[in-house]
Chain A
């Protein structure tokens, strides 16, 4: 017989936040409400959305290649894939040759390939376009990200952290403005407060100092800092517990002989997409309760020498996603959907440096057991271009709206500020294919594991 107060007490554990009075963050309070409301609906688990940002502008035309089109072959004398190379989806479309795992998901009818996605008057600046996608707003009038706006309307049962960003960068715009309902986790070891000695008294002091002195009506910078400080401390304990219980993949480190030297591979390394998705999978199976996860794969700005880098990145993407779903037990894989997006596609014609320049219109993937697999929408025509770019036909917010309404159960109009025609992407009755889940896929080292460029030098992961 838990009531809200008890729930908060147990959730907050040893934190002294309760003593602080009115400073309990709203997202925790709504968690408590959710616990009250949902305690009778046993067994019904919340759905989870994993978003993968492909940063830099992924070349959609070499991700889902219209290999059967002469115009494609002509526009890309060095970069186009031949019929023999692609992971064939049909006589016209083929996935990038390195995307074997995505092809498998496609064959299992768990991968939707949404074509010709974009928005009006495309912006070819990385930052502007990324903002547009992440704010879900071509006018950029919103001041918070679309996932952040999703948080308040979303029920979260088991934990007080509705959204989590796993990465070492700043919090992505998509998740900004959720008033700390979102946390970011740079790496496991460093997400820990260091207080040597007199720890609980010191922690109480800091919580007390940050909790008690503000005029609640004031929403200034100082109040913001105090709130962040409290939210950080609250999250710490919960995440630490969850991470400890989630553990590692159990696959251990391996040494592999690559290009004449030994390279240590750690499947749990949070510098790789595989490592991040692996951790997310385990957190999901541990019922952490977080419903939005956000990760990035960077390096898609392939202005020159595209073939090798792009292949590596898509190979990493494909094997990471494949492993992720293979490792999820059936009941969990049925409640997880995963979406990829990039800020724009690239010009149809390759440039003089065997690369491609910023373009518009691209493809998105939505994967999951309860995702309706298949090609969604036609491939945009290569004979009808604007400024050398394909024409989009599907507004990306239709994908968002579908995931909000049909998957997360959050009113899409409230989040997006407008109604968008939905796509047939979700079927809540589908079951995981037989034989999946339970046993993690044997340590198939992801093909061409790519260390995220920005994490290469400057992030120092604390390793024991």
Chain B
């Protein structure tokens, strides 16, 4: 940490100090903090971004994140245009992942993801990629905008109208679904309204429908209840617009949104009372300017402190894209990411319910953690689908069918996996020994030094040759060790071995010795040998399975 560190006891930190802009002392703007900022404000840094951020300093880096790349507006046009053509969920998900990685404005995409979880709407009920796409465009439009206009647009969003049964909400027979969620989940939070407020707001929202073709919002005057309603103690002939306005006028609104953004951007440990007060005041005073709030948070003393460092569990999208940005040189086929994301518990466009995903430690149960381990295997061993995309520095372009893009044929085709080989960035630093390799792995994957005991174990692993398999073939996981129970004939066939990968790395000379192999002397290791590189990839996998990677 740099100068004037905040108290390690967060309840003793003066909120005013906490949110002052951080002015790093000389030498304090380190790769660690660059990586931290990029993990929260984007989807992790690429090695080039880290280098650039270190060169231009924090203020310019932060401005750059808020503004996006110089051509971000052009990319947005192209992005918005191309998204119209996807009619299945996998393509739509891939499209959004593209936007996150290559849309030129990762912070905007990051906030779009936040709002997707906030206004959680699922394709499972909406059943239209078109409507989900349109909602996504609206989320992106307002992601760094002002909340009242945002909430109004979302209240009229067609996917949302379908999702929360708005057409069922009619004069004389109100359906409370949207009225409840707009208060409970979208603006105020539990405890900041009464059942009566909900019933009255539902009346005010009657007639806020979609058209019969389900293409757009339509106000159905005949089915609107024009009578007087009393919401939050205020009486009038309120309409849907008034419901949105009245919600935004409540003090609870700023409190609720600031707390939720704090959890997303800073820490999942609940803040002490009063810590967020300056942000709430400022947020209200600014007319709910989201960009200003985000900038204040991301540039603050508190953000660049141990109170925020690794204080979140990465969302699956962050876990997946972070590794791709940091460690994979090529442009991986992003459709390969959609299925792992679902297994990790975050299928985009399909949050589990209107409350969104359960975040924090809830992301990690044995099934989802296993999925993270298995995704790490794909990153580390480069077992991506065929093709990939044109190199990253090529002219920016979205392509209608990502799956069909062929690799540039001008260069000699590399061996199957080499263009996604995690070794490339490792060796770019020209490590001269095993310790330097581990150091570089830490810089790439953690943006930080590897704790000494961990580094030691990794070095030992890297130096240890593969054991000669006793029976010729190595089981994909540990051999079955179930005692007693004679393994019945497996009724389901064993899974096919993972494509690629299986053959290589096994080609070690087969000495028939049984005791585990000993680590080699560092002097005897050839860093450029295929065997050593195979160990490096395996180390990448292991390092991704540690809290240093899983936490954010």
Q: Which residues of A contact B (CB under 8 A)?
A: 10, 12-15, 124-128, 165, 168-171, 176, 180, 183-186, 188-203, 205-206, 208-210, 212-213, 221-226, 228-229, 231-232, 235-238, 240-241, 244-245, 247-248, 303-304, 351-353, 355, 357-358, 387, 453-454, 456-460, 462, 464
Contact = CB atoms under 8 A, between A and B. Distances in A.
Interface in B368-403: 368-371, 373-374, 377, 381, 383
B195 A124 contact: yes
Given A247-B488, A357-B175, 16 more contacts: A127-B184, A183-B366, A189-B492, A195-B477, A196-B497, A198-B474, A201-B516, A202-B541, A205-B461, A206-B546, A209-B546, A213-B451, A221-B310, A248-B491, A304-B175, A453-B125
A202 B364 contact: no
26 contacts: A13-B482, A14-B479, A183-B367, A190-B343, A190-B370, A192-B370, A196-B505, A197-B474, A197-B504, A198-B538, A200-B474, A201-B464, A206-B545, A209-B546, A222-B551, A226-B547, A236-B366, A237-B481, A241-B480, A247-B492, A303-B175, A303-B177, A351-B175, A454-B124, A458-B347, A458-B350
A14 B165 contact: no
A456 B535 CA distance: 39
Contact of B364 (A128, A225, A358, A457): A225
B10 interface: no
Contacts of A244: 487-488, 490-492
A184 B350 CA distance: 20
Contact of A352 (B89, B173, B268, B490): B173
A457 B124 CA distance: 7
A200 B478 contact: yes
Given A202-B538, A221-B310, A195 B476 contact: yes
Interface in B495-552: 495-498, 500-502, 504-506, 516, 534-535, 538, 541-542, 545-548, 550-551
B362 interface: yes
B170 interface: yes
Give the 6 A-B residue pairs with the shortest CB-CB distance, closest first: A13-B481, A352-B173, A458-B347, A225-B547, A222-B547, A196-B501
Given A202-B541, A240-B477, A228 B369 contact: yes
Nearest to A167: B367
B413 to A, nearest CB: 22
Contacts of B483: 10, 13
Contacts of A224: 361, 364, 547
Contact of A193 (B165, B374, B502, B542): B374
B242 interface: no
A241 B487 contact: yes
Interface in B78-117: 89
B352 interface: yes
Contacts of A13: 478, 480-483
B131 to A, nearest CB: 14
* Highest count of chain B CB atoms <10 Å: which of A201, A304, A462: A201
Contacts, number: 268
Given A224-B361, A237-B478, A210 B545 contact: yes
A201 B475 CA distance: 12
B293 interface: no
A186 B367 contact: yes
B339 interface: yes
A352 B170 CA distance: 8
Given A203-B477, A352-B170, A191 B370 contact: yes
B345 interface: yes
Interface of B: 89, 122-125, 165, 168, 170, 172-173, 175-177, 180, 184, 190, 195, 268, 310-311, 313, 339, 342-343, 345, 347, 350, 352-353, 355, 357-358, 361-371, 373-374, 377, 381, 383, 451, 453-454, 457-458, 461, 464, 466-467, 474-483, 485, 487-488, 490-493, 495-498, 500-502, 504-506, 516, 534-535, 538, 541-542, 545-548, 550-551
B546 A210 contact: yes
Given A197-B501, A198-B538, A352-B170, A176 B362 contact: yes
A455 B93 CA distance: 16
B487 A222 contact: no
A201 to B, nearest CB: 6
A360 to B, nearest CB: 11
A54 to B, nearest CB: 14
Contact of A237 (B123, B371, B477): B477
A205 B457 contact: yes
A195 B547 CA distance: 19
A378 B81 CA distance: 61
Contacts of B550: 225
Contacts of B339: 460
A313 to B, nearest CB: 15
A125 B343 contact: no
Given A206-B542, A209-B546, A222-B551, A457 B485 contact: no
A125 B453 CA distance: 48
* Highest count of chain B CB atoms <10 Å: which of A180, A193, A209: A209
Contact of B366 (A223, A231, A352, A458): A231
A180 B464 CA distance: 32
Contacts of B190: 125, 128
Contacts of A205: 457-458, 461, 538, 542
A209 B175 contact: no
Nearest to A245: B488
Nearest to B341: A458
* Highest count of chain A CB atoms <10 Å: which of B373, B466, B506: B373
Contacts of B377: 194-196
Contacts of B481: 10, 12-15, 237
* Highest count of chain A CB atoms <10 Å: which of B362, B367, B383, B488: B367
B347 A459 contact: yes
Nearest to B123: A457
A197 B370 contact: no
A353 B168 contact: yes
B367 A190 contact: yes
A231 B491 CA distance: 26
B478 A14 contact: yes
B145 to A, nearest CB: 27
A232 B477 contact: no
A193 B476 CA distance: 8
Contacts of A238: 482
Contacts of B458: 205, 209
Nearest to B508: A198
Given A14-B481, A225-B364, A198 B350 contact: no
Contact of A221 (B365, B491, B535, B551): B551
Contacts of A202: 538, 541-542
* Highest count of chain A CB atoms <10 Å: which of B355, B475, B492: B492
B361 A170 contact: no
Contacts of B365: 165, 170-171, 183-184, 228
Contacts of B350: 454, 457-458
A89 to B, nearest CB: 32
